[in-house]
Structure 1
Amino acid sequence: MTPEDLSRLANKIRRRDLQAVFEAGAGHIGGEMSVIDILTALYFRIMNVEPANPAAPHRDRLVLSKGHTALALYIVLSEKGFIPAEEISTFLQHKSRLNGHPNRVKVPGVETNTGPLGHGLPIGVGMAKAAKLNGENWRTFVITGDGEMQEGSNWEAIMAAAQFNLDNLTLIIDHNRLQQGARLAETNNLAPLAPKLEAFGWAVEEIDGHDMDEICSALSPGTITAGKPKCIVAHTNKGQGISFMSDNVAWHHKVPNEEQYKQAMAELEGALE
């Protein structure tokens, strides 16, 4: 898919995400809007995955460490063909397998359960190390939030990845500058992130996390530095595409009322014109 095609698809996914949050009366819409472009590029341009065979041994792996944005992942998986599109309507319903955090036992295409922040990158390091030990060339991608990078377990994993020369590992930090209840700068300001990762021996690239050309270029195999894990610091906006949600800390897990829903949907639909 071209970057233009990917952007159109990402917009469609945003609209479905908005609808699902509104209908379920719950969700983490702000962080979902910020990560959707990255997820779309990964599944429809970059990753080698097989919806008909989710456990294919040589597939690429994605760990969505910021697991509270599971709905965005579910919709991407449905668009890719891992789960039925109509199942999105069951999000958070009684006995639905589409829970508020992804579950690898229940949902095809989910690589590991996430939710407790700081766990995804250590798991991703283990996956990438396993591929190296087995002489395999599949890639591991991990998406974290920037607030999540305050977890010490992430920095232990960062040290290990550099020690093991895991150039088959890519960490993508969804750097939307906001976390639950506050701005990153008001909590534990890790910014700027790039020099910190570089100091630990990683190859680092900073991009506009909503520019499909930049996303696809940064994720491509040609940008890998031999012997170094890669970190992409993706500068994004929480609530991207919706004026009153964008860069607004209140929309971490707030649900729009009917008037807000109609306005948000109109704005997203207008972006296609």
Structure 2
Amino acid sequence: MRLATLVATAAGFVLLPSAAHAGACEDGFVKKGNFITGLRYTASQTVVDLPPDVAINQLRGITAKRGYQIIAAEPTVGSLLIEQDRQSNARGFPIEFAATQEKGLGTVRVEAKLPAGMNAKTEAVRPELCGMLGELKGGKAGRLAAAGGANAVGQQAAPTVLSAQEFSQQISKDAERNSAIIPLRYANRRYTLSGNVDYVIRDGSVYRVAFKILQPYQLALRLPNMASTLSQVSCLMGPGTSVYTLQLKPGKSVKLTGTFYEYAEFKDVVWFKDCTPAK
């Protein structure tokens, strides 16, 4: 159950069984902001004998199994930042957890921050956020759950499908906002990118296929909020692809699946590795 899906539809989702009292969470659920400036959804849950580090390590496992990306976790200070996978029809957005404890009671607050122009129904978001908090456990059961979730990472169900031009715009805009988050947001994520070949060269022991990326001034229509310059995108081809790669030429339409490898900020280039032709 993920907000990426919930943004599209609110139908068919129910609250998961929980160790905490989900009713209290839902009663305190708050929606702020608007479609123009950006919506904010907040909720909180209190559980007996739930230290901040135990809460965050539990949430790491809870959110990972739901498919969220874990961007940053600081259990000792009770902080966790996750994101949904970015899709062509659903932008990613941050979800932040903050855990505190006072007089034996642990409280976890969650806030989902939607970007301007993105909407989600309260009836869909509330059970998702409270469902995650509702899985939290206190005491011995909580510590056992935290031990299991401490090193959990979100699993990507399938490669994200985008054009290379769209991906370049996406990561270039990320770089304008805060380039430090890029390695965390994209690490080991798989993408299927389509576009035209710019060039093919030998790069060390592998072949590199570069996509043709048009800069904003080259586009007939420049969309609002577009990055000022767009990063180049290249694929380091995987084993067994040399016959295919050596037949490519500039302007050839290609569709390649690969794993995010590196973003070079000063060169303004993104590399994918182990790329293969998409079927």
Q: After TM superposition, is the score higher than 0.5?
A: no
Q: TM-score, normalised by structure 1?
A: 0.26
Higher strand share: 2
Q: TM-score, normalised by structure 2?
A: 0.26
Larger radius of gyration: 2
Point out which structure has higher relative CO (alpha carbons under 8 A, 6+ apart). 1
